Amino acid sequence: MGKRDDLIAKYADDLQNKCGMTPDMDLLTKVTIGCGPSIYNADASTVAGSQPSELETVKNNFLMKKLGLSDGLELMEAIDKVIEVYGRSERNKYRAVIYYMLTKHFGKEAVYG
């Protein structure tokens, strides 16, 4: 198994054990690949859930650009909900896991079709 496969397994474990979800491995793999090389960078691979600028980046670059959603209050509410599910006190909130949960939340799996 390669490094990416190891990371996908780690993300799946987080989804199961920290978020209480059974991951769709095909979608999780596609979301992880969509994150690009950032998954290998310790800082870029995680989302700082308490930093408004970081959450704004998730909203603009992922929800609006990648998933094609229109700007609105529900975007930040969804990000907040996902961070709540992951656990606010969880130190490493992996970007791929958050993007996966947001994709599921908005029913945008077809973007990765």
CA distances for 81 relative to 25, 61, 69, 77, 78, angstroms: 22, 18, 17, 6, 5
Q: Tell me the H-state helices in the chain.
A: 3-17, 25-34, 52-57, 73-86, 95-105
pTM of the model: 0.96
Q: Is the pLDDT of residue 1 over 80?
A: no
Mean pLDDT of the chain: 96
Q: pLDDT tens digit string along 52-92?
A: 999 999 999 999 999 999 999 999 999 999 999 999 999 99
Question: Could you list the residue range(s) of the whole structural domain that residue 16 is in?
Answer: 3-112
Domain count, the chain: 1
Look at residue 81 in the predicted model and tell me its pLDDT.
97
pLDDT at 46: 97
Average pLDDT over residues 39-54: 95
| pLDDT-above-70 percentage for the chain | 100
Residue in the block written with tokens 């930040």: 76
- Supply the CATH number for residue 10's domain: 1.10.238.120
